[in-house]
Amino acid sequence: MDNSYLLTYLDKRGIPLITQRHHTYLEYFGYEQQYTYVLRDGVVKTSVIMKDGREFNIAYLKGPDIISLLRDEVSSYTSAPFNVRIESPEVSFYRIPRVQFWDYVNSDARLQAYVKDYYRANLVEAIHRQQMMIMNGKTGAVCALLYMLMSQFGRRDGDGVLIDFPVSNEDIAGFCGISTRNSVNRILHRLIDDGVIELSARRIRVLDSQYLRRYALD
């Protein structure tokens, strides 16, 4: 999706740009929320809390992107569908009252097309994530996640691809439905021993992307 038109549209209407720092929250799952957030720069993580108290991670969102357009178009308040936590040192975003945002969308054909693409892309991504979790075991789920992170944060680094974003074992466990970060640690060290990845300064460097790709179901 081309996010430039949306950002330009909001700038022209004088929507202020807000900055917020690492590990603060924009939304809490289930709490009443009256805004739509449009992320301009930085990275946030979406997640939900399961009944046993564990966090299940849904996705990293990297700006520019809309954080959530779920629920109806007319209610001023709606319950937040997930937690949204800032993962980069800082993010910048637009915060628009929900009804005002939908007024913008309904009055502009290009924004309507953008929203359709947004829903379509998010549905495809959600189905893909479910397939990876269901059709892979624990090791396969971790491999598939690393392959996805390569597409979001990867950059060429010598003979490998550096995932240039700090991803903790705890977060990997949360994305892959694994109960403990120790289990993730064992999986990562098997991948290191097999020459698939290496770890350095809280970063993962992928040496064999084809090994990971076979688990990604793309």
Q: What is the pTM of this model?
A: 0.87
Which residue, of 62, 94, 111, is where some domain finishes? 111
CA gap 72, 85 in Å, rounded: 23
Considering its fold, how many domains does the chain have in total? 2
Tell the burial category of 191 from Cβ atoms under 10 Å away from its Cβ (0-12, 13-18, 19+). buried
Mean pLDDT over the full length of the chain: 89
Q: Is residue 58 part of a domain?
A: yes
Residue 65 covered by a domain: yes
- Determine the pLDDT at residue 74: 56
Q: Is residue 119 part of a domain?
A: no
Do 92 and 22 belong to one domain?
yes
In terms of domains, do 150 and 96 share one? no
The radius of gyration of the chain's CA atoms, rounded to the nearest angstrom, is 18
Q: What does the pLDDT average to over 157-183?
A: 92
Question: Which residues, including other chains, have CB under 8 Å from residue 163's CB and lie 6 or more apart?
Answer: 146, 149, 150, 153, 154, 203, 204, 205, 206
Lowest mean pLDDT among 3-7, 85-89, 170-174: 3-7
pLDDT at 42 over 70: yes
User: Binning pLDDT at 50, 70 and 90, where does residue 121 land?
Assistant: confident
> What domain range includes position 48?
4-111
